Amino acid sequence: MNSILFEPLVLKNRTVPNRFLAQAMEGNDGDKGAPSERTIRRYTELAKGGWGITVVEAVSVWETSLARINGMILKRKNLDSFKRLIGEFKKYNSEGLIFIQLTHSGERSGKFSEIVTLTPDRAGPRYLSSDEIERIKDAFVEAALLAREAGADGIDFKMCHGYFCGEMLRPANTRDDKWGGSFENRTRFFREAVAEIKSRLTQPDFIMGSRISLYEGIRGGCGTAGRDEIIEDLSGMIEVIRSMDDLGMDFVNVSAGIPALTGAITRPTQSSKYLVYHQLRYAKTVKDTIQKENRSLKVIGSAYSTFKEEAPLIMEEMLGKSYVDLCGFGRQIFADPLTPVKLKQGEKINWCLLCSGCSKLMAAQMNDGCIIYNPYYRELNRNLKV
């Protein structure tokens, strides 16, 4: 198959071989914070699929901020396992790029970890002090440098889906210290962290970007104009994207919603599939701004699994009209890790059925994967029902 889907893309000073991006998807199968044999096998399978970019799922920069009980943590003690994961990946896909998504789960941490918040007056989670936030920022910087040491080609500084860095950006972040209130304060965390990572990186080709939820769908959330607003107003988030570009970041991965609260926006299911058109509009809105202002951030669109077998056609349209630079697949990478290579060779693809099975396994804190096409996860799901 010869099409724009398989055209290379220049990203910073690297070449992405095609326009398929494997989105971060938590498999919840780490071993005490390090990638396990199962984790490494999953990424090796993805490597064989020939995705232009593969993003390693949310990896915590902080020991006690895990959203998944078997989630991974990027600290020096786990570095060798991350090196192995990246090394194995590159054996099977030397052309594609591999990034690590760095996160702190904040309010979305599990009960087995520590649930914390940076928003004042939130009942329940422990309120984070200004100093603690400073230390979390240092942890992001250290983890980014470790990602580079592990051999990753870049990082995704996770600011989406209601986790710590997304909570920071919200108009509802009314902290009265330097981390809240004004737009400048709410963007300080990522601006300072990214600037420091850049100043400490010795390799100029390391790629940095961020995944954001352009609209979270909650009152005072990202994509609203004030702490009491629910109506979509993207101007604040467009400003965030301008800051990313000004900082010299390389990509923005446009997503939406908070899976735990407004999950149908993030990952539409069979019954909510038309919500995916918001995702297309969000990506186009971002790309329009970037083009109009002659900026260089590359734009990744989300939720392409929702289109099932029509996804390649939608990709052709979105890429052909320059509405996005890369198209990101989440659930489809579980359904068929080999999707790009199979499409290129005209082979039959196992398309995601939007059954929500992987989301249910995730909610149950099980190892996660496709319950339709992969017997291991099918069995886990069967036991879940009993």
Ligand X SMILES: Cc1cc2nc3c(=O)[nH]c(=O)nc-3n(C[C@H](O)[C@H](O)[C@H](O)COP(=O)(O)O)c2cc1C
Q: Which residues bind ligand X (CB under 6 A)?
A: 23-26, 57-58, 101, 158, 160-161, 211, 255, 266-267, 302-306, 329-332, 358-359, 362, 368
Instruction: Work out how close the CB of 317 gets to ligand X at its nearest, in angstroms, rounded to a whole number.
Output: 16
Instruction: Work out how close the CB of 58 gets to ligand X at its nearest, in angstroms, rounded to a whole number.
Output: 3
Query: Does the CA dihedral 317-323-329-331 come out positive or negative?
Result: negative
* CB nearer ligand X, residue 156 or residue 180: 156
Residue in the shown chain whose Cβ atom is closest to ligand X = 330
Instruction: Work out how close the CB of 255 gets to ligand X at its nearest, in angstroms, rounded to a whole number.
Output: 5
* CB nearer ligand X, residue 181 or residue 373: 373
Question: 207: part of which helix (H) or strand (E)?
Answer: strand 207-213
* CB nearer ligand X, residue 157 or residue 304: 304
Contact 245, 290 (CB under 8 A): yes
* CB nearer ligand X, residue 73 or residue 180: 73
* CB nearer ligand X, residue 137 or residue 331: 331
Contact partners, residue 301, CB within 8 Å, separation at least 6: 254, 279, 280, 283, 318, 323, 324, 326, 327, 328
Helices (H), 35-187: 37-49, 79-92, 130-150, 164-169, 183-186
Helices (H), 11-125: 37-49, 79-92
* CB nearer ligand X, residue 173 or residue 213: 213
Instruction: Work out how close the CB of 181 gets to ligand X at its nearest, in angstroms, rounded to a whole number.
Output: 27
362 phi/psi in degrees, rounded to 5: -65, -45
Cα 281 to Cα 279: distance, rounded to the nearest angstrom = 5
Instruction: Work out how close the CB of 161 gets to ligand X at its nearest, in angstroms, rounded to a whole number.
Output: 6
Single-letter amino acid, residue 194: V
Find how far residue 344's CA is from the centre of its chain: 25
Question: 313: part of which helix (H) or strand (E)?
Answer: helix 311-320
Instruction: Work out how close the CB of 147 gets to ligand X at its nearest, in angstroms, rounded to a whole number.
Output: 15
